[in-house]
Each structure stands twice: as C-alpha cells, then as structure tokens.
Amino acid sequence: MIGSNQQFGALGEKLAAKYLKEQGYKILKMNYKNKLGEIDIIASDKKEIVFVEVKTRSVSPYLSGQYAVDKRKQFHIMRTASYYLDVTKCDLQPRFDIIEVEVERTTGQMKKINHIKNAFSQTENYARF
C-alpha cells in the first residue's frame, strides 16, 4: 500500500521517467525547482526539450489527470521552463507534455500510461522570469 500522496506522486514520476527512457528520451532533470516553481521531468528527444507534468491517479474510469493541469498551472510551468531555458542556454524548441499514470494504490502496480504530447503551448507573451 502506498502511504502518502507525496509517495504516490513520486512513484508516478518514476514510472513516467522510465517510460520516457524506453521511448528514447534523455532525462535531463527530475523535480526541477527554481524561484518560480517546479517541473516534474525535463527531457530531450534530440529535436525538442520537453517539460513534462506528471499526474498520478488511482485506477478510476472517471478521473483524467490532464484536467488537473488548468491554465494557472500551465502558466506556472511555462514561466518555470522559461527561466530554466534562460539559465541553461538551451537552443532546442520547447514542448509541454502531460503524462497520466494510473497506478493501483494498494499494490503500486502501473495499470496504464497516457503520454499527451503538446498538451498545451504558450499562446501569450509571458515575462521571461
């Protein structure tokens, strides 16, 4: 049995990173934090730098993690990513993905993973940081 929500979320992030590696992505950072926020996974597929928000959910036919990434959350992720790009001097095109991970809470077993590429994009001008 997975105890806390924090442990449950960390398991989902670990499973998402494993999935990305299997798909050929290079994991650059896990749980990247700066003064503006946090990004669960930063990865690269050689053409793009991918900022990934992971949503871990118990097995449920009614709940979709992508709906938890509202406009406010997207704004914070994009600002955090913008700051990361400024300090790392990365020339790759950014992309924002969501990975939904369904996990059986009692066993910790992954049931399903859903990778939503280009889940959202910057449509407004944001301050760089």
Q: What is the pLDDT of residue 62?
A: 55
Q: Assess if residue 125 is contained within a domain.
A: no
What range does the domain containing 77 cover? 5-120
Q: Assess if residue 116 is contained within a domain.
A: yes
Q: Assess if residue 112 is contained within a domain.
A: yes
Query: pLDDT tens-digit profile of 78-92?
Result: 999 999 998 998 889
Q: Assess if residue 81 is contained within a domain.
A: yes
Of 82, 66, 65, which is closest to residue 124 (Cα–Cα)? 82
Token output for 10: 């960390």
Cα–Cα dist 55/87, whole Å: 26
Q: For position 67, which CATH number holds?
A: 3.40.1350.10
Q: Assess if residue 78 is contained within a domain.
A: yes
Q: Which residues of 62-97 are buried (b: 16+ CB within 10 A; e: fewer)?
A: eeebeeebeeeebeebbbbbbbbbeeeeeeeebbbb
The total of structural domains in the chain comes to 1
Token output for 44: 């690269």
Rounded to the nearest integer, the mean pLDDT of the chain is 85
Q: Assess if residue 46 is contained within a domain.
A: yes
Query: pLDDT tens-digit profile of 37-80?
Result: 999 999 999 889 999 999 988 866 555 555 667 788 888 999 99
Cα–Cα dist 107/101, whole Å: 14
